[in-house]
Structure 1
Amino acid sequence: MTRSAIVLAAGHGTRMKSQTHKVLHPVCGKPMIHHILDTLEEVGVDQIVVVVGQQRERVAAAVAGRADIAVQAAQLGTGDAVKAALSTLRSDTDTVVVLYGDAPLIRPQTIASMFEARETSDAAAVVLTASVPDPTGLGRVFLDGEGGVLRIVEEKDASPEERQHRLINTGIYAYRRDALKSSVGRLKADNAQREYYLTDTLAILRSGGERVIARTVEDPLEIASVNDRAQLAQVEQICRSNIARRWMREGVTIVDPNHTYIDADVVLAPDVTLLPGTLLSGRTIVREGAVIGPHTRLVDTRVEAGAVVQNAVAVESEIGEQAQVGPFAYLRPGSRVGKRVKIGDFVEVKNSRIGDDTKVSHLAYVGDADVGSHVNVGCGVITVNYDGERKHRTVIGDNSFVGSNVNLIAPLAIGEGAYITAGSTVTDDVGDDAFVIARVPQTTKPNYVRAWKARKQNQNLVKGGDDSGH
């Protein structure tokens, strides 16, 4: 039995007031329409057709490889959009679910239940309904005693008594393919907007003696859709809450879910602890026992078991087991921090590998470097990696010591067990076990300061006399 889905994504969404198509706006780290595709793929739908219209190239590119494309040349309503998709449907399709690219919260269980209801009942169509506390502006659905749809009454046509009814039409349907095709073909644009409404197919089917039934969504928040930025923020909040609840049930401690932000593709292990102000983005992975936060942002970063990352930012980086990063550290793309490494306060690392048990405790910049194991990088150390035209690498061997306020002028190689004294500027390669002093010798003049100050004062008096004209 072949199952297909039509996702309506033709309208640009003018109320978003954005140059970005509505369905491409992100919710919890990825475009809304990707949430829909993920849901349909989890259900195991055999074919997905996305109907595009405005900005069709951008939307088509966003779903490339995951869906077939149908084009609605002019936006003439939901019925016309579905009609544009019919020729793209597989010929062996039995059941078609129609849903919207701007409603990213729908759950796989809900879609699966619609397919099952349509197939087990052999109804022509299934309407997804919801019981909401405030149905204002929405079409009311009235059922018979067996769950069949008697009628759908739009707000403008409802009597005062009918407006008290709280079961509403979500606009999401499952159809028998032939029933969808025949009813869409009979749609008329006899309304003020001169558009073809998919909702009208239900009345067409019922008038032809076909059965239309309803299934009620368990959580009305699932059907929340986005038409403007305020609704986008509301949907984001619901999605974020759902994600946090799911991870807490999987054994993750989230101290303050209201101030923790986890993207949809993040992966967390049991016994991870997330402190307030944590933002986990992209495809970040955090392993067992790691503690993240407070006020930490990780983007496409892998954190191994037992690591602690606090008050820090890491982008496209790897943090090893039992490592400590922060507070106030920045790992830029390409950083690989080994086991039990310490990256301390106000340390920046970029495109570098830091070996196991190495310490970069504070106020340092390590860029384009390969730092070995058991290395001490002192306060104020800088790898001078850029000559104004090209980037160069620094290599520091295992068990080396780099003292405070050292400049390492790349390209540079420092051997194993080397010792670089504080304040040195190192320009030449250093061999194994070498001791380096690369600084200007100190000059000390005894009993000098008072005489020096007196000379300066006399010089200032002379200058002052010249300026006065005497």
Structure 2
Amino acid sequence: MSQLKAVILAAGKGTRMKSDLPKVVHTIEGKCLVDYAIEAAEGAGAGEICLVVGYKYEIVRESISHKDVKFVLQEQQLGTGHAVRCAKEFLGEEGQTLILFGDTPLITAETLKKLREHHIASGNTVTVLSAMVEDPTGYGRIIRDADGNFVKSVEHKDATEAELASHEINSGMYIFDTKELREALDLILPNNAQGEYYLPDTLTIIKEKGLKVDAYALDDPEDITGVNDQEQLAAAAVVIRRRIAGNKAKNRR
């Protein structure tokens, strides 16, 4: 298999956490949120991992238990596309790149392996990790045509009424063919309600080149659940404790 790298976005402050700490260093079972994402990437086969850091980045660097990751600084928060662009030197030209978030501690190596297998088997240039949810409010939507083919990903704020009817959400996690990701990053523009550089705009750029863009939909959205406030942190902790107990029970058999 070709080489795999991972870029984990971990620059945000996380104001809804009501804490002075960067969001990604809040802990569950003694481990930082971002450590869980790093472990999932490693478990999926990522040989090199880069954290895009920003707010109080020194604390992030000191707090994580994985010391073999690389860091790049995103000084201004100008969107997900800008964050990944900050890691452009790290990307190189070969193989594939996973894009993950530092505040999604429930993502698993297993899910990322399946995402990569689907990406390679389908001959995709980029594959979005998506999920079907009952209430998609606030999430970017995956739009498909009548035959179920991927058309685009659109942010909630920029979506039409018809597009908002989609219950398939963009998790913000992707696997890209690295060379095409690098080229597309240079072409994104802040033409949106937020005036930010959106990573999903690379999907349209890649698709317009005639290359294959697809979404790999999870039946259960648990793995892609993010942590934005203390309530969600507590809910994620319940899931992680349940998984730890399940693994212990499996090992005892």
Q: Secondary structure at the match of 1:234?
A: helix
User: Could you tell me how far 1:148 is from its partner in structure 2?
Assistant: 3.8
- The alignment's C-alpha RMSD in Å is 2.0
From the superposition, tell whether residues 49 and 217 of structure 1 become closer, same or farther in structure 2 (CA, over 3 Å): same
From the superposition, tell whether residues 106 and 146 of structure 1 become closer, same or farther in structure 2 (CA, over 3 Å): farther
Structure 1 residue 174 corresponds to structure 2 residue 175: yes
Bigger Rg over Cα: 1
Structure 2: gaps of 5 or more residues: none
Kindly indicate whether the alpha-carbon contact (under 8 Å) linking 1:147 and 1:214 is maintained by their aligned counterparts in 2.
no
CA distance in 2: counterparts of 1:60 and 1:43, whole angstroms: 22
What is the aligned partner in structure 2 of residue 78 from structure 1? Answer: 80
Q: Secondary structure at the match of 1:93?
A: coil
User: Could you tell me how far 1:74 is from its partner in structure 2?
Assistant: 1.2
Structure 1 residue 234 corresponds to structure 2 residue 235: yes
Kindly indicate whether the alpha-carbon contact (under 8 Å) linking 1:37 and 1:66 is maintained by their aligned counterparts in 2.
no
Structure showing greater relative contact order (alpha-carbon pairs closer than 8 Å, 6 or more residues apart): 2
What is the aligned partner in structure 1 of residue 101 from structure 2? Answer: 100
From the superposition, tell whether residues 148 and 177 of structure 1 become closer, same or farther in structure 2 (CA, over 3 Å): farther
CA distance in 2: counterparts of 1:9 and 1:140, whole angstroms: 22
- Of 81, 87, 90 in structure 2, the residue corresponding to residue 88 of structure 1 is 90
Kindly indicate whether the alpha-carbon contact (under 8 Å) linking 1:149 and 1:213 is maintained by their aligned counterparts in 2.
yes
AA partner of residue 74 (structure 2) = Q
Deviations 1:113-158 (A, max 9, x none): 2222223333220011101111112222123577641122333444
User: Could you tell me how far 1:190 is from its partner in structure 2?
Assistant: 2.5
Per mean C-alpha deviation after superposition, the further-off stretch among 107-116 and 145-154 is 145-154
Kindly indicate whether the alpha-carbon contact (under 8 Å) linking 1:148 and 1:211 is maintained by their aligned counterparts in 2.
no
Q: Secondary structure at the match of 1:54?
A: coil
Q: Secondary structure at the match of 1:201?
A: helix
Q: TM-score, normalised by structure 1?
A: 0.51
Kindly indicate whether the alpha-carbon contact (under 8 Å) linking 2:141 and 2:170 is maintained by their aligned counterparts in 1.
yes
AA partner of residue 45 (structure 2) = G
Equivalent residue runs for 1:229-378 within 5 Å: 229-251=230-252
What is the aligned partner in structure 2 of residue 35 from structure 1? Answer: 36
User: Could you tell me how far 1:92 is from its partner in structure 2?
Assistant: 5.4
What is the aligned partner in structure 1 of residue 214 from structure 2? Answer: 213
From the superposition, tell whether residues 199 and 60 of structure 1 become closer, same or farther in structure 2 (CA, over 3 Å): same
CA distance in 2: counterparts of 1:250 and 1:147, whole angstroms: 40
CA distance in 2: counterparts of 1:23 and 1:195, whole angstroms: 22
What is the aligned partner in structure 2 of residue 132 from structure 1? Answer: 133
CA distance in 2: counterparts of 1:228 and 1:2, whole angstroms: 35
From the superposition, tell whether residues 159 and 187 of structure 1 become closer, same or farther in structure 2 (CA, over 3 Å): closer
CA distance in 1: counterparts of 2:147 and 2:136, whole angstroms: 23
Deviations 1:194-244 (A, max 9, x none): 211111111111122221011112421111111111111111112222222
Going by fraction, where is strand more abundant, 1 or 2?
1
CA distance in 2: counterparts of 1:125 and 1:62, whole angstroms: 32
CA distance in 1: counterparts of 2:13 and 2:109, whole angstroms: 26
User: Could you tell me how far 1:160 is from its partner in structure 2?
Assistant: 4.3
User: Could you tell me how far 1:29 is from its partner in structure 2?
Assistant: 2.1
User: Could you tell me how far 1:161 is from its partner in structure 2?
Assistant: 4.5
Q: Secondary structure at the match of 1:88?
A: helix
